[in-house]
């Protein structure tokens, strides 16, 4: 089954929203526990509907559970704060590895949405590698220089809008130049009865 786009958005952004709301009222440790629980619930709901787990939310979920668990067990918010840095570095490393081994991992994620030439996938992959490195560096700067509350706000109201804008800004120019358009009359198609 395909998931409704609105539900998909809620499942992807919902745990972060829970993290923000609970942090504002209860503090970072209850927020971390709520973030872990909401992330696991979102993955379960996603799997129940589609019978598969998307790679990026799954990897992020594993990091949330591991580093959230360390945060709670050791009563040290350092672990939940460095989690975004490590997640983004992991994605950048995976895309870089794929680029050098001829495997376009981004293509596996986006191929159902957009068809690009190999050159288009290379350009898009390089852009996302740069963006993930930027997010890792930005997270390191922000958590080290501002309060926990400001860092949480940055995660929700800074990173998410930036990522959405970057998605559009990186994809549209590449699509305009490297999109594969299927011919209207494909030779492999059966003849159309025009009677």
Average pLDDT per consecutive 10 residues, the chain (195 residues; last block may be shorter):
75 89 93 95 90 84 94 95 95 94 85 84 94 97 96 92 92 88 52 39
Question: Across the strands, what pairs with 179?
Answer: 116
> Which pLDDT does position 189 carry in this prediction?
46
Six-digit token string for 125? 């992959």
Cα(182)–Cα(160) distance, integer angstroms: 33
- 31-50 exposure pattern, b = at least 16 Cβ within 10 A, e = fewer: bbbbbbbbbeebbeebeeee
> Which pLDDT does position 192 carry in this prediction?
40
Neighbour tally for 70: CB within 10 Å:
17
> Which pLDDT does position 7 carry in this prediction?
81
φ, ψ dihedrals at 179, nearest 5°: -65, 140
Q: Are 9 and 38 in contact (CB under 8 A)?
A: no
Indicate the helix (H) or strand (E) that contains 131.
Answer: helix 118-145
Return the half-sphere exposure (C-beta side, CA atoms, 13 A cut-off) of residue 93: 7
Six-digit token string for 35? 């973030």
> Which pLDDT does position 64 carry in this prediction?
94
Residues 6+ apart with CB under 8 A from 87: 59, 60, 63
Domain range list for the chain: 5-178
> Which pLDDT does position 193 carry in this prediction?
39
Q: Are 90 and 59 in contact (CB under 8 A)?
A: yes
> Which pLDDT does position 190 carry in this prediction?
44
Helices and strands: H and E segment counts in the chain: 8, 0
> Which pLDDT does position 157 carry in this prediction?
92
User: Which pTM value belongs to this model?
Assistant: 0.83
């Amino acid at each position: 089954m395909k998931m409704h786009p609105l539900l998909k958005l809620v499942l992807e952004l919902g745990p972060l929203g829970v993290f923000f709301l609970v942090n504002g009222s209860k503090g970072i440790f209850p927020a971390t526990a709520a973030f872990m629980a909401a992330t696991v619930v979102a993955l379960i709901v996603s799997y129940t509907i589609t019978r598969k787990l998307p790679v990026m939310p799954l990897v992020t979920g594993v990091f949330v559970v591991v580093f959230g668990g360390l945060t709670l067990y050791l009563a040290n918010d350092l672990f939940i704060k460095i989690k975004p840095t490590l997640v983004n570095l992991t994605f950048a490393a995976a895309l870089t590895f794929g680029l050098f081994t001829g495997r376009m991992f981004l293509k596996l994620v986006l191929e159902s949405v957009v068809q690009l030439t190999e050159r288009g996938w290379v350009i898009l992959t390089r852009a996302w590698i740069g963006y993930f490195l930027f997010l890792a560096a930005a997270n390191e700067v922000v958590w080290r220089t501002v309060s926990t509350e400001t860092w949480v706000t940055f995660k929700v109201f800074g990173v998410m809008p930036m990522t959405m804008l970057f998605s559009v800004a990186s994809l549209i120019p590449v699509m305009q130049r490297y999109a594969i358009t299927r011919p209207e009359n494909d030779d492999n198609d059966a003849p159309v009865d025009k009677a």
